[in-house]
Structure 1
Amino acid sequence: MRELMIHLNENSPKYKQIYHSIRSLIENKELQPNTKLPSIRQLAEILYVSRNTTLVAYEQLLAEGYIRSEQKRGYFVETFESIDIHTPTLHAEKSISEERKIKVDFRAGSVDQHAFPIKAWRKCVNEVLKEDIVYMYGEQQGDRLLREKIANYLLQSRGIRTSEDSIVIGSSTQQLLMHLSILLKNKYSSIAVENPGYDGARTVFQLCGFQINPIEVRKKGLCMKQLEKIESKLVYITPSHQFPTGVTLPIAERLQLLNWAHSQNGYIIEDDYDSEFRYQQQPIPALLSIQQEARVIYISTFSKAFLPSIRLSYMVLPSELLDQYNQQFATFEQTASSIHQRTMARFMERGHWDSHIRKMRATYKRKMHVLVSSLHLAFGKVIRLIGTQSGLYILIQLQSSVGEEILIQQALEQGVKVYPTSNLYIGYKPEFSILKLGFSNLSIEEIQLGVQLLKKAWT
C-alpha cells in the first residue's frame, strides 16, 4: 500500500495522530492482516511530515504488536484476533434507571441517619486521634479499654458476668465465626443450624468444611427433638430474636439446650445480633447469663444498634477455648480498626452509648408500629406479619400463590424494594412467599408511602 491518507491537525503531536489513525484502521479491520504499509520515507512524503515523525509512530505500533517489520521488505499489518468487547450499556442504563425510580427501599441492616449521634461520635474520634493508639496495630484480642466497657455493658444489659480477658473483638460477626470455625474444626466436624436461619453464618461454616445439619424452627424456636437426634455437637442459634422469624426461645427450651451442650461436651454459638430492640418487654437475658460456666460462645455486634460501617463485633469465649484461641491466632493482627475500637470505648465511657440505645429503641418502636398498622390497614387479612415485637425488620407473607420473584418485581415496578427470604431456607420453602421489610433508615412518611405503593403493586 503506497497511499495512506491520514488527516492531521495542530491539536496534538503528529506522531500520536499517525499512530492512533493506523491503529484504528487495523482494529476496525480496514487494514487487513499482512497488508504492506508505506515505508517511513513514503508516509512522510504523503503526510508532509518528517521521517522521524513517521518512524516514532511505526516504532510504537511495532512495540504494541499491531505491525511487524520484515528485513528488506518493509512494514506489514500483523495477524491477530480482535476481541469483541460488548459493553453492557443497555443493562447499565436499565440498572441506573431502576435505581433512580426507587422511591422506598425496605432494606434491613441500615440505621436511622437523622438520629445518629454524629456530634458526640466526632468529638470522641477527635480525642482518640490525639492518642498513641492511633499509630499502633493494637492488641490481638482487641482494645482493652473497649473490652472493659463491653464487659460492663453485658453485665447490665444481658446479665452476663465476664471479664475483658474473655472477650475477643473482630471486624464482623462473619470474621469472628471464621476464626471460631478454624478453632473448633480441630475437634468437631458438623454443626447444627436454624432452618430458616442466617445464611451468612451458614456460608462461613460451609467454607470451613463443616457438615451442615439444618434444624427446623417452630413456634417456640429451635426444635430440640430434632437436635437431640443428630450427631452434631455444635449448634449455631439466635435465641433472643431468631433470624429471620423473630421467635424468642422460651426458658424451658433454653435450659434443655444448655443441658444438651453439657451432655454432648459440645458448644452453643449464641448470636445476639440485635437484642437491644424489643418493643413489648424488656430485653430477654442471654443464654450465657443462665449458667455462667455454660458451654456457650456468645457473639454480638455494634452494626445493628449503632453503625455497620465501623465494623465492630465481639465474642465471649469459654476459658478452655480462649487459651486455644490465643495460641492458634498468636501471629494474627487485630482485624478491627484501633481508632474505631478506642472511639467506641470513649463513646461508652461518656454515657453516649446508653442514651443512644434508649433513643433508638423509642424511635424504632414508633416506626415498627407505623409499618405494622399501615400494612394491616392496606391489606387486612390478605397478609400475615411475622416478628412484629422486636428487631429492625418484619416478615410479610401474602396469602397468594404468586412467587417471590414476581412479588419483588411487582413492587420494584412501583418504586419499592423488598427483599427475599428463600435464601434463608434449606431443603424446603414455605407454602406462601415471605418477604423481608426493614424500616430502620426510613422516615414515617417513607414507610407509609412504601406500604401504599405495595398495595398498588400487589392488589
Structure 2
Amino acid sequence: MIYIQENSNEPIYLQIYRQIKEDIEQGNIVHEERLPGIRTLAKTLGVAVNTVIRAYAQLAVEGYAEARHGSGFFVLDNSNKDTERNYISQNISPISVEGSDLKQPVSLYDFQYGGLSYEQFPFKLWRKYTSQILLSSQKDLVNQYPDKQGDLLLRQEIKKYLHRARGMVCCEEQIVIGSGLHYSLDILCKILHKENNRIAMEEPGYNGARDVFINNNYNLYPIPANKDGLTLSSIYRSGACAAYVTPSHQFPYGTVMPIYQRKELLNWAIANDAYIIEDDYDSELRYDANPVPALHSLDMDDRTIYIGTFSKSLSPSMRVNYMVLPVRLLTRYYSLFHTYNSPVSWLTQRVLAAYMRDGYYERHVRKMCLNYKRRHDVLVQEATKMFGRKVVLYGRGAGLHFILEFPGGEEQEWLIKQAEKVGVKVYPMIPFWNDRNACPQNVIFVGYSLLDEQQIRKGIALLQSAWFSALP
C-alpha cells in the first residue's frame, strides 16, 4: 500500500518511487510482477498521472522496473541488490505499527481541492491546434526564446477576454504570462520591495501566497476574514505597501467582497500610496449568478495588480497564469526583469491563444460550470439530507470547495481520523491560518473537483456513518 503524506517536504512522486522501491527490495513485489497501471494508481492515490509517470520513470532509470510497450511496467530481477540496509525487523512493537504511516487506509473518496478530473480537458481540440501550429509558417518559433512577457497573441486574447468577462480595460503591454501564482507573486515581491516590506493579507488566507511573501522577507499584517467577509477597519494602521485579497471568492470561506468594501480598499490604496493584489483564482466558476466584476474594473487610480489563472478552468499542470500590472509599475518591472525569459513554452502559449481566439475557451468554461454545478448541488443536497443541522456549509454558489462547520463542537482532528477509517479523506483548516492558534477547531475543508456525482453521494454517506452514526 502506498501512502501519500500531503504535508511532507518530499515531492509526491519521490514518495511513490521510494515506497515501491522498498517493496521491491524487500521482496513484497517480485520479479516479473506488473506494477499498477499509471492511471489506476493515480486515481487510487488522488494524484496527477504525470506524478506517477515520474515515479515509474525513476524506477526504470535505476533498474528496478522496465516499461513494456502496450503492457505497462514490470519489476526486474533485483536479487543481486544489497537489501540489508532496507531490512525491516520483524520484532516491531504494536505501538510502532499503529503509528506507522504504512497502516493508514487508502482513501476511496478524496475530497481534495486543486486537481481537476482528466475527462474535463479538451484533448481533441488541443491535439488539433498543436498539430496546426507545428505545421504552420511560424513553426520555427518553437526553437526560439518566447517573448519575455509571454506570447503577444496570447496576451492579446487575454486582454479581450478580460474585457468581456471581467469588465477590465488594459493593454497587452501590462500583461505578464507566468507559470503559476507563486511565480507571479515572486515577481511582485521584488517589484514592490523598496523600504516597505509589509503585506496585508487575509487571515485565514491562501497558504501558498503566504509562503511566497515570507520567503521574500515580507512581514504579514492580518486582515480578519470569516464567514461574513473581511474586516477592513484595521488596514489603515497596517502600514503595508500592498494588500493581497481574493475578492470574488474569498479563500477559504468563499464569501464575495461587497461593493462598499471594494471601494474602501481602493480608497485605502490611494491614501497610502499602496497597491491591491487581486487574486481572481476561480472567478469563472459561479453557479448561482453571473461572475462578479473584477475589483480591477472599479480602479480609477491604477492601483490594482490583477492575477488570473487557467489552473481552475483548464488545467493546473499546464502551469499558465497571468498578471496585469499597473502602468506605473511597468518601468520597475522592465528594469528588474529585462533579462528574464518567459517560463511557459511558446507552443503551450500559442495553442492556448488559438483556443481562445476561436471561442472555445469560453465555451469550455461554460461547460465546466455546468459540470461542477451538478457536483456542487449534489454535495449540498446530500450534506443537507445526511447531516441536517449537525453541519453548516460555507462557500455555496461558486468555486470547488466548501467549509464545513460543526455546531456540536466536533474537532477537526477527530473528524479527519474518523473519515479515514471509512476510506474518505477530508482536510484541516489549520494550514490557512498564519496564527494557527486562532483557527476554530470545529471546521474542516472539503473539495469536490475530482469526484463525480455518485462518488460524492457515497462519500457523504460514509462521512455520516463515521461522524454521526453513534450519536443520538
Q: TM-score, normalised by structure 2?
A: 0.76
CA distance in 2, matches of 1:143, 1:95: 45
Given that 1:258 and 1:294 are in contact with CA atoms closer than 8 Å, whether structure 2 keeps it comes out as no
Matched, 1:380 2:388: yes
Q: Which residue of 1 aligns with 2:261?
A: 253
Given that 1:188 and 1:234 are in contact with CA atoms closer than 8 Å, whether structure 2 keeps it comes out as no
Q: Which residue of 2 aligns with 1:8?
A: none
Q: Which residue of 1 aligns with 2:9?
A: none
Matched, 1:435 2:440: no
Matched, 1:448 2:453: no
Q: Which residue of 1 aligns with 2:313?
A: 305
Q: Which residue of 2 aligns with 1:274?
A: 282
What letter matches 2:367 in structure 1?
K
Q: Which residue of 2 aligns with 1:349?
A: 357
What letter matches 1:182 in structure 2?
K
What value does the CA root-mean-square deviation take over the aligned residues?
Answer: 2.1
What pairs up with 1:30-49 in 2 under 5 angstroms? none
Stretch moving more, 423-432 or 291-300:
423-432
User: Which stretches in structure 1 are left out of the alignment for 5+ residues?
Assistant: 1-83
What letter matches 1:359 in structure 2?
K
Question: 1:221 Cα deviation (Å)?
Answer: 2.4
CA distance in 1, matches of 2:457, 2:269: 45
What pairs up with 1:369-448 in 2 under 5 angstroms? 369-427=377-435, 428-448=437-457
Matched, 1:149 2:160: no
Given that 2:302 and 2:328 are in contact with CA atoms closer than 8 Å, whether structure 1 keeps it comes out as no
Given that 1:245 and 1:395 are in contact with CA atoms closer than 8 Å, whether structure 2 keeps it comes out as yes
Q: Which residue of 2 aligns with 1:71?
A: none
CA distance in 2, matches of 1:115, 1:236: 30
Given that 1:385 and 1:394 are in contact with CA atoms closer than 8 Å, whether structure 2 keeps it comes out as yes
Aligned-residue sequence identity (percent) comes to 39
Q: Which residue of 2 aligns with 1:457?
A: 466
- Aligned to 2:146, the other structure's residue is in SS state coil
Q: Which residue of 1 aligns with 2:251?
A: 243
What letter matches 1:118 in structure 2?
F
* Change beyond 3 A, Cα 1:347–1:97: farther
Stretch moving more, 114-123 or 389-398:
114-123
- Aligned to 1:340, the other structure's residue is in SS state helix
Question: 1:187 Cα deviation (Å)?
Answer: 4.2
1:127 to 94, 118, 132: 132
The count of residues paired between Structure 1 and Structure 2 equals: 375
- Kindly provide the CA deviation profile for residues 295-324 of structure 1, in whole angstroms up to 9, marking residues without a partner as x: 000001100111000000100001121121
CA distance in 2, matches of 1:412, 1:299: 36
* Change beyond 3 A, Cα 1:410–1:189: same
CA distance in 2, matches of 1:417, 1:175: 29
What pairs up with 1:99-248 in 2 under 5 angstroms? 101-130=106-135, 131-248=139-256
- Kindly provide the CA deviation profile for residues 36-55 of structure 1, in whole angstroms up to 9, marking residues without a partner as x: xxxxxxxxxxxxxxxxxxxx
CA distance in 2, matches of 1:222, 1:294: 23
* Change beyond 3 A, Cα 1:456–1:225: same
Question: 1:382 Cα deviation (Å)?
Answer: 0.4
Q: TM-score, normalised by structure 1?
A: 0.78
Question: 1:154 Cα deviation (Å)?
Answer: 0.2
User: Which stretches in structure 2 are left out of the alignment for 5+ residues?
Assistant: 1-83
CA distance in 2, matches of 1:257, 1:132: 47
Stretch moving more, 107-116 or 307-316:
107-116
Given that 1:273 and 1:304 are in contact with CA atoms closer than 8 Å, whether structure 2 keeps it comes out as yes
Question: 1:429 Cα deviation (Å)?
Answer: 3.1
Question: 1:270 Cα deviation (Å)?
Answer: 0.4
Question: 1:419 Cα deviation (Å)?
Answer: 1.2
CA distance in 2, matches of 1:104, 1:337: 35
Question: 1:248 Cα deviation (Å)?
Answer: 0.7
CA distance in 1, matches of 2:426, 2:233: 34
2:332 to 297, 311, 324: 324
CA distance in 2, matches of 1:103, 1:385: 22
